[in-house]
Amino acid sequence: MQSTKFNPWEMALEQLDSVARKMKLNPNVHAILRHPKKSLIVSIPVRMDNGSVRVFTGYRVQHNISRGPGKGGIRYHPDVTLDGVKAMAMWMTWKCAIVNIPFGGAKGGIVCKPEEMSSDELERLTRRYTSEIILMIGPERDIPAPDVNTNQQIMAWIMDTYSIDKGYSVPGVVTGKPLSIGGSLGRNEATARGCVYTLMSAVKYLGLDLHRQRVVVQGYGNVGWNSAKLLFEQGCKIIGVSDVEGGIYNSDGLDPYKVYEHSRKTGSVVNYKEAENLTNQELLTLNCDILMPAAIETQITKSNARRIKAKVLLEAANGPTTPEADKILEDKGIFVIPDILANAGGVTVSYFEWVQGMQAYFWSEREINLKLRDIMQKAFDNVYRLSRKKKVTMRTAAYILAVSRVADAHLTRGLYP
């Protein structure tokens, strides 16, 4: 699951430029939106367990904060780049606008291989990174969250480091925290649950029966596994899943719980006894009803888009489809639920967690899931109606809606000085 052939920032700019032309966006606002508000590159010296010091590179980017504080995850991965972080920050801007929550887009990352580091090394890395970006983050400025290879524990270290600097506990500085220090119920499954809610809306409009759909999931991390589990509980047949090592396939269906247990024990879904192995590229082109890319960006390209056989592409990952592939999927009549809509459930429940932390008043999981369902279904309905009205794809409609809301905020606030 590699994406190094493509520059995600160029892809994000192409998406923005394309929709700006269609909606005749104010050229001054367009110029502002093409540039991140703030990009920070930091060196992170860390004492390793063997006594040596390694220097890692970290990033934090705020793309836009006109509608509220920055919001976006922190990724630990060897392929993290500044352009990649800028692209994801821009996508976060649109994502927050789509679901109409008062955040702007931000993102962060560290170039590292976390699987090769001890827990103590990861803690020292996280705390030093936090100290280097501490002037950019805060509950009213920029609120980080988990992303690829980061989790609740890393968010706890960030919160603690920030709180020590302030001299008091600041739970609102991050989301995706453990429940014991102000995390929210429902946050762990939020991105997956949001994907499922948008899919439920889509099949209703498309006249499909969700209980009969054959589903393929690329990526079996938090989002992929939870999506497979939730769709399985809705009666879908999960026929293929994959992770970074490869994929598995069974036309009669897989039990996602058993696959998850196998993955926990062996480190991969590969070699599951009730399925045949295949590559990630083979998995993407399986004959299925729902294809859910839930891994990393730029997985569906012009080289494989023509072989996609799904009826619905549900983008759980950020930027999984290149613009060239988009055109091919449109010609094939594949219904795409775009990333900035499909996977906005995570940032929505992050917003709920931030609100709860700021108020020191916490909600039940049922209340959170119902609020999430209402927001995701309303967002889908808005995008779907706009796509029919303008006779454009769901992605174009989603961008028109999101960019319009951000542009309105810019024009209302004005330009200082």
Taking a C-beta distance cutoff of 8 angstroms, is the pair 188, 194 a contact?
Answer: no
- Of 238, 220, 230, 151, which Cα lies nearest the Cα of 195? 230
List all residues 6 or more positions away from 95 whose beta carbon is below 8 Å from its beta carbon.
105, 339, 340, 341, 343, 344, 347, 402
Count other C-beta atoms under 10 Å from residue 336's C-beta.
Answer: 24
Q: Which two tokens stand for residue 52?
A: 């040596």
Per-residue 3-state assignment (H helix, E strand, C coil) for 169-231: CCHHHCCCCCHHHCCCCCCCCHHHHHHHHHHHHHHHHHCCCHHHCEEEEECCCHHHHHHHHHH
Active-site residue, from 86, 107, 229, 311: 107
Taking a C-beta distance cutoff of 8 angstroms, is the pair 105, 91 a contact?
Answer: yes
Q: What distance in Å separates the CA atoms of residue 270 and residue 249, rounded to the nearest whole number? A: 10
Is there a catalytic annotation at residue 24? no
Give the helix/strand (H/E) hosting 41.
strand 38-47
Give me the residue label for tokens 């060239």.
324
Amino acid present at 248 = I
The SS3 call for residue 72 is: strand
> Would you name the residues annotated as active-site residues?
107
